[in-house]
Amino acid sequence: MNGIRTGIAKANCLLDTLEKYIITFFLVGIVLMIFSGVLSRFVFHYAIAFTEELSRFFFIWGALIGAAAGMKTGEHAGIPLIANRFGPRGRKVIECAVTIGVIIFLCYLVSMTWVSTARSFKSGQISTTTEIPIWTINAGMMIAFAIAVLRACQGFFLGSFSPDLDFIIDEEA
């Protein structure tokens, strides 16, 4: 049993590191592409067509991977205004219900992006400027949603959501 936990911990550490590098890559890519696009347009009076479209794809992928990374620690949108009206037990129930709802919704998004990816793969659709196959764009979103499901389950089962719950409970006592 201890070997399984060690393996899960190593996989978790690897996923954390991978997420950080991917998000950093996308952010640096966005900055460089936007800067080069603006520079070329205003200094050289020549627009580099692909920079805007590729920046948009990087932004979408980076935001979704970042949201997936935030799911592990419960950094998703909550409803503290409503939850704080209940006692500790009520908050736990609301936290569980919201988390289960989020996981179900993310699973729905994975299934819908799977369908969208399959359709765009069959159709052979490509993006206008960069001519990247649209299925790769959709696959990136599907992977990000799948990671978000994994991270939400991790956070739920490891109990890492609501890190300030103990503080709130102690404050009321």
Please give the chain's pLDDT, 173 residues, in tens: 677 778 777 878 888 899 999 999 999 999 999 999 999 988 888 888 888 899 999 999 999 998 888 887 766 555 666 777 788 888 788 878 888 888 999 999 999 999 999 999 999 999 988 899 999 999 999 999 999 998 888 877 776 555 444 433 444 44
Count CB neighbours of 132 within 10 A. Answer: 15
Q: Is there a contact between 75 and 157 (Cβ–Cβ < 8 Å)?
A: no
pLDDT for 95 equals 79
Segment 150-168, tens digit of pLDDT: 888 887 777 655 544 443 3
Tell me the residue range of the domain where 11 lies: 2-172
How far apart are alpha carbons 57 and 138 in whole angstroms? 10
pTM here?
Answer: 0.78
Alpha-helical runs (H) found in the chain: 2-42, 50-71, 80-83, 88-123, 134-158, 165-172
pLDDT in tens, 78-95: 566 677 778 888 878 887
Domains of the chain: total? 1
How many Å apart are CA 91 and CA 166, to the nearest integer?
11
